Amino acid sequence: MRVRTITAILSLLAAMPPVHLGAQGVSTIARAEVSGGYAFSSSPDFSDGWPFGWFVGAAWPATEWLAVSGELANHQMHGALDGSRTDLSMWSTMVGATVSRRIGPSLTALARGSAGITTVTHHVYETSPAISAGLFPVFDVTITVHAPAVQFGAGADIEINRRIALRTLVEYRRIFNRRLLTLELPAQGRLNVTTGLVVRLGSR
């Protein structure tokens, strides 16, 4: 199902007619791109169902439609139940490729696929008054898992000017680690939404 989804996105981008900008709007390839902004991740098992996060990234445009990209992101999720609290932190380092297709004077469609490493740190601890007063043993456990991950999705750039664009991407991330399943940590598969600014540096 996911392979068919990726194929459909790439086919759609390929089928879109390119927009010709004319003599005064000839596009040039940037030497590099840097980006940063907000990152949200679906987390139905936590009290903050779409927790806040952040990302920073960089890319090298190989052609007008293909770029090699890298991204560092962090998400923090929290929940509370029956006198205890759970905190989940996810650090992700991803490297991949982005394909793009201009479909309007200031609108570019994107599809991105990437792979990398995700570090999941899960902290569970007691918060009830009885525990704090020393009436019962304190429960405090931290588990850290390093696991490979893949991520793919699509989005768009809305150009603010020739150098700056507003980018939004909706992507699915899958983390591969049997320990996450054994420990029932809600981090194996999730939907990520990122939105932020892209700054194009130089031209060639």
- Among positive and negative, which fits the CA dihedral 64, 108, 32, 53? negative
Residue 141 corresponds to which tokens in the numbers above?
């456990």
In a domain, 88, yes or no: yes
What is the model's pLDDT at position 156? 97
| 93-125 confidence digits (pLDDT tens) | 999 999 999 999 899 999 999 999 989 887 877
Q: Is residue 24 part of a domain?
A: no
Domain membership of residue 169 as a residue range: 2-14+30-201
Cβ partners under 8 Å of residue 176, min gap 6: 147, 148, 149, 150
- Check whether 62 has a pLDDT greater than 80: yes
Residue 177 falls within a domain, yes or no? yes
Average pLDDT over residues 25-37: 83
Q: Say how far apart CA 141 and CA 95 lie, in whole Å.
A: 32
What are the phi and psi torsion angles at 34 (to 5°)?
A: -125, 150
CATH number of the structural domain spanning residue 129: 2.40.160.20
Query: Is residue 25 assigned to a domain?
Result: no
User: Is pLDDT at 52 greater than 90 in this prediction?
Assistant: no
Residue 91 has which token pair?
A: 């650090």
Please check the confidence at residue 132 and state whether its pLDDT lies above 90.
Answer: no
pTM: 0.75
**Is 19 a member of any domain?**
no
The answer to the question of residue 20 being in a domain is: no
Residue percentage of the chain with pLDDT more than 70 = 68
Asked, for residue 137, whether it belongs to a domain, the answer is yes
Residue 191 lies in a domain: yes
Query: pLDDT tens digits for 166-192?
Result: 999 999 988 887 766 555 555 567 788
Q: How many domains does the chain fold into?
A: 1
Strand partners for 19:
none
